Amino acid sequence: MKIKILFTVFTLSFFLETNAQCAMCRAVLESEEGLVAAEGINDGIIYLMAIPYILVFGVVFIIYWKYFKTKQKS
């Protein structure tokens, strides 16, 4: 049980401070003096990355919920 908690905390600590950019975006944004655009690009990338995970979690939750309800009725 402690290993699962440790793994979860360790995984979430990497997720909190992620800055993801492709090489082309990084080259263009590094030449810019203001960091507002770079932060916007990073937020957009995180947003696009999170949507598939949320959708997959939703589908798995619905499947689990339907299985649990049918198991409970019988």
Which range of residues forms the domain containing residue 44?
Answer: 2-73
Q: What's the full length of the chain, in residues? A: 74
Reported pTM: 0.48
Tens of pLDDT, residues 16-38: 555 656 677 777 777 767 677 77
- The half-sphere exposure of 70 on its side-chain side, counting CA atoms within 13 A, is 5
Question: How many independent structural domains does the chain possess?
Answer: 1
Tens of pLDDT, residues 45-71: 888 889 999 999 999 999 998 888 777
More confident residue, 50 or 72: 50
Q: How far apart are CA 29 and CA 34, in angstroms?
A: 9
Residue 27: the pLDDT is: 73
Per-residue confidence band for 42, with pLDDT thresholds at 50, 70 and 90: confident
